[in-house]
Structure 1
Amino acid sequence: MSTRTNETWLADLRATGLTHEEALNDLRNVIQKGLPYALSRWLPASDPLFPPLVEEVTQETLLRVLDQLDTFEGRSLFTTWVHKIAIRIALTELRRKRWRDASLDELTENEDAPPPAGLLADSHASPETSAERKDMLERVRRILQEELTPKQREALTLLGLQDMPMDEAAKKMKTNRNALYKLLHDARLRLKKRLLIEGLTPQDLLSAFEQK
């Protein structure tokens, strides 16, 4: 892996073809090398949950970094900035893991089906909060169905909900890792635009499941 300056990281990740792929692979290695130490306070590397968490966090971090390249101000090393993003994502995933049991298919395939019980079950939630969560899930189901292609929904199901490793998901979908990153990146952009039209932000969706 070559040593890059901040400017080189930005240029290579914005490039296309082999340059972009090599930068993406190098950044993936940087993230995965730093996570064991960074997360040792909360989850030891020996824990069975650690390998799938690292894979999940790496995928999400790469997508987040590509989305936010223009926000990097150069006040630190680029890799330090990336590690901070990765740690925030990892801690968020640890807190919200209990909501990962629901299948995206349940949210998208049957318009008349009620939202998955695992997403709504909370013995401490008020009736108002439960109703808000149900309404939010119905809106999410509609947005996913209307905005994403079948391939994009399949990718989100395999990687986001079934915790399938990136290489296995790429093999199942008969594509490669970088093409799958691009597929997810495009899906995220489409969802962000639609959420904006709907007057929602990603934080609105998360907040609906954090409140009691």
Structure 2
Amino acid sequence: MLLIYAVRIEYNQPLKIKKMARDNPTWIADLTSIGQRRESALADLREIVRNGLPYALSRWLSPADPGFESLIEEATQETLMRVLEKLDTFRGQSKFTTWVYKIAVRIALSDLRRHRWRDVSLDELVEKPESLSISGLMSGKEPDPELTTEKRDLMEVILKIIQQELTEKQNQAIIAITMHGIPLDELANKMNMERNALYKLIHDARIRLKNRLAEQGLTPAEILATFE
């Protein structure tokens, strides 16, 4: 009777199935299989990515932001698709989930940058670039006054060359990319250009700037040294 009672107690307990941790080969095997095995692996991977991204993104975007959850969801879905496309590139040099997590963070940050610039016009990007770029380059609470003046003078020279020597499109592209950090793909959309065409536009503009700065007796190394 006691034995039967014990069995009944065990039988009436809710069934708890603990998910088995997958090693690298198992992840690959499950994700390249078909049917329920693959769907189960995708669901587990989605949960891992979905639970990990909020912490990573909270450094750049507050979880209280109205767009936070939608960004997490969008990045999670894109990550799963990207992982399936790149499974054959996984070399097993780290845990599979670590590899996936790095992909997820890159995608999420890229999406975040695109969202931030989506409603910004090109006119806004090139409006008063002097104040935007100079304030961004001056870091620290108590900057060296002499170094600050040197930075300001050099920036004025660079901006003058940009405005006088470059075409309007080159001007827009250089300011947007180098001074605001707008993603190349987002800028291509705003300028209605193919990505490769925009890349060539920026490349030509940089060559032109480099040559013009050389005429002023300035080299890229000297410019970088000023802002270190």
Equivalent in the alignment of 1:31: 49
Aligned length: 128
Q: Bigger relative contact order, structure 1 or 2, given CA contacts below 8 A and separation 6+?
A: 1
Q: State how far apart, in whole Å, the 2-side matches of 1:54 and 1:25 are.
A: 16
- Assess, with a 3 A threshold, how the Cα gap between structure 1 residues 49 and 69 changes in structure 2: closer, same or farther: same
Question: How far does the alpha carbon of each residue in 1:47-76 deviate from its partner, in whole angstroms, 9 at most, with x for none?
Answer: 222110100000110011011101111111
Question: How far does the alpha carbon of each residue in 1:157-206 deviate from its partner, in whole angstroms, 9 at most, with x for none?
Answer: xxxxxxxxxxxxxxxxxxxxxxxxxxxxxxxxxxxxxxxxxxxxxx7489
- Map residues 161-172 of structure 1 onto 2, 5 A cutoff: none
Shift of residue 207, structure 1, vs aligned partner = 5.6
Q: State how far apart, in whole Å, the 1-side matches of 2:55 and 2:115 are.
A: 21
What SS is found at the alignment partner of 1:85?
Answer: helix
Equivalent in the alignment of 1:52: 70
Question: How far does the alpha carbon of each residue in 1:3-39 deviate from its partner, in whole angstroms, 9 at most, with x for none?
Answer: 1011111111111111111111110000011112112
Q: State how far apart, in whole Å, the 1-side matches of 2:27 and 2:196 are.
A: 32
Shift of residue 2, structure 1, vs aligned partner = 3.0
1:40 aligned to which of 49, 58, 76 = 58
Question: How far does the alpha carbon of each residue in 1:123-155 deviate from its partner, in whole angstroms, 9 at most, with x for none?
Answer: 24663357973242xxxxxxxxxxxxxxxxxxx
1:134 corresponds to 2:192? yes
- Map residues 1-212 of structure 1 onto 2, 5 A cutoff: 1-98=19-116, 121-123=121-123, 124=125, 127-129=168-170, 133-136=191-194, 204=196
Give 5+ residue unaligned stretches, structure 1. Answer: 102-117, 137-202
Shift of residue 85, structure 1, vs aligned partner = 0.5
- Assess, with a 3 A threshold, how the Cα gap between structure 1 residues 29 and 55 changes in structure 2: closer, same or farther: same
> Identical aligned pairs, as a percentage?
51
Give 5+ residue unaligned stretches, structure 2. Answer: 1-18, 127-166, 174-187, 206-228
Question: How far does the alpha carbon of each residue in 1:65-111 deviate from its partner, in whole angstroms, 9 at most, with x for none?
Answer: 0111011111110000111011111111111114657xxxxxxxxxx
- Assess, with a 3 A threshold, how the Cα gap between structure 1 residues 47 and 76 changes in structure 2: closer, same or farther: same
- Assess, with a 3 A threshold, how the Cα gap between structure 1 residues 52 and 7 changes in structure 2: closer, same or farther: same
Which consecutive segments of 4 or more residues in structure 1 shift more than 6 A? 208-212
AA aligned opposite 1:122:
L
AA aligned opposite 1:11:
A
Q: Larger radius of gyration, structure 1 or 2? A: 2
Q: State how far apart, in whole Å, the 2-side matches of 1:63 and 1:205 are.
A: 27
* Contact 1:36–1:44, Cα closer than 8 Å, also in 2: no
TM-score (norm 1): 0.52
AA aligned opposite 1:134:
N
Q: State the Cα RMSD in Å.
A: 3.2
